[in-house]
A = this chain, B = another copy of it.
Amino acid sequence: MGGDTGPSVTVPASLSALRRYGYLSLVLVGDSSLIEPYLTNLSSDERDRIQIVHTSDVVSNQSRPDSILRSGRQSSMFKAVELVQTGDVQACVSAGNTGALLMAGRHLLKNIPGIEKPAIMAVVPASSSSSNTFLLDVGANTWCSASQLFQFALMGSVLVTAMSGREKPRVALLNIGEEEYKGRPEIREAAALLAASNAMEYLGFVEGNQLFDGRSDVIVCDGFTGNVVIKVIAGSVRVTQNLVQQSLRKRWYYRFFAWWLQPLMRDVRRTLKPSRYNGAMLLGLQGIVVKSHGNADRSGFERAIEYALRQVQDDVPGVIASRMAALTGLAEEAKPV
């Protein structure tokens, strides 16, 4: 039910994913009278792999995140996360209110032991198309300690291994200078923790202009900075695109080229379009939750479903849990008796 357009995007996107992945089954949680109209022309196999859990209650984008626990327990979002908790489904995808989704996730699924705070991880838009760069946290925590930043790096690298197969993901910390004395103390401390870890290839500090160079698989920062960063990228990409289009309109002879230039604009739009990067992962919970952007189009929402699928296949929460257990075990062994 979530997102700017609700079932008109989410249901067709679900059907498209269903057709693409023959082993996928979907539970659509929401108002069945609004969902059913989109379930036409299905084969019997497809219809068998779709189930509707009806509820007419929704969490709006405007409501405060904690309202989902106070008055939203009948909402489609809460019920969808509940299905993960009960084990009826293996992952939940939502285009709704991010804060409420995080609140429901933390309440119902609980944190993985050893993970202090869950984080939200997103693909850096406009990062090199050959290899995606993931950024976390992009909004769950406004302030993060060194150990939390370290845990984010670990969770992010488990996810990158699931997505790309890379065994030792390359991890960097977002900072305001490359020199080791620069930035905030918690970032410098996290750097020391990462440098001592074998699970990842720690690259050091990166600055804001290095997000796009494709050298890092995971870039770690607090949720305030990360949230500002992804919005600034979206804004500046739009500004640049508008500028190109304005320039194209400014000279009369460009109108003659208009037809020829279409592929150029299409290239640019395709590479930069938000749906290519859609799907933010809530990491650190004992269950898989993916957040689609509220204004994602059909292919964007389908991408978010695929992100959930990859995490199920690799059991990302399970791998994070065992990594954390190993780390904690090591730490306990290392303690003086």
A212 to B174, CA, bound (A): 23
Q: Which residues from B are CB-within-8-Å of A254?
A: 260, 264
**Residue among A126, A181, A250 with max Cβ neighbours from chain B (10 Å):** A126
With contacts A142-B183, A176-B142, A257-B260 taken as known, whether A208 is within 8 angstroms of B237 at the C-beta atoms is: no
Q: Which residues from B are CB-within-8-Å of A183?
A: 142, 224
Minimum CB–CB distance from A297 to chain B (whole Å) comes to: 18
A224 to B143, CA, bound (A): 13
Main secondary structure of the interface of A (DSSP, over half): helix
User: Closest chain B residue to A127 by CB distance?
Assistant: B239
User: Closest chain B residue to A126 by CB distance?
Assistant: B239
User: Closest chain B residue to A230 by CB distance?
Assistant: B208
User: Closest chain B residue to A210 by CB distance?
Assistant: B235
Q: Does A333 touch B at the CB level, under 8 Å?
A: no
Docked-complex contact B208 and A272, CB < 8 angstroms: no
- Contact check: which of B224, B229, B267, B271 meets A232 at CB < 8 Å? B229
* Chain A stretch 241-285: residues in CB contact (< 8 A) with chain B: 241, 243-244, 247-248, 250-251, 253-254, 257, 260-261, 263-264, 267-268, 271-272
* Chain A stretch 5-44: residues in CB contact (< 8 A) with chain B: none
* Chain A stretch 40-78: residues in CB contact (< 8 A) with chain B: 64
A181 to B65, CA, bound (A): 10
Give the oligomeric copy count: 2
Q: Does A118 touch B at the CB level, under 8 Å?
A: no
Docked-complex contact B236 and A264, CB < 8 angstroms: no
A261 to B250, CA, bound (A): 12
Q: Does A203 touch B at the CB level, under 8 Å?
A: no
Q: Does A234 touch B at the CB level, under 8 Å?
A: yes
Between A and B, 24 residue pairs with Cβ closer than 8 Å are: A64-B181, A142-B176, A142-B184, A207-B228, A208-B232, A208-B233, A208-B234, A209-B231, A209-B232, A211-B232, A211-B235, A225-B228, A228-B229, A232-B232, A232-B233, A236-B237, A237-B239, A240-B272, A243-B267, A243-B271, A243-B272, A244-B268, A248-B264, A257-B261
Interface residues of A (CB under 8 A from B): 64, 126, 139, 142-143, 174, 176, 179, 181, 183-184, 207-212, 221, 223-225, 227-241, 243-244, 247-248, 250-251, 253-254, 257, 260-261, 263-264, 267-268, 271-272
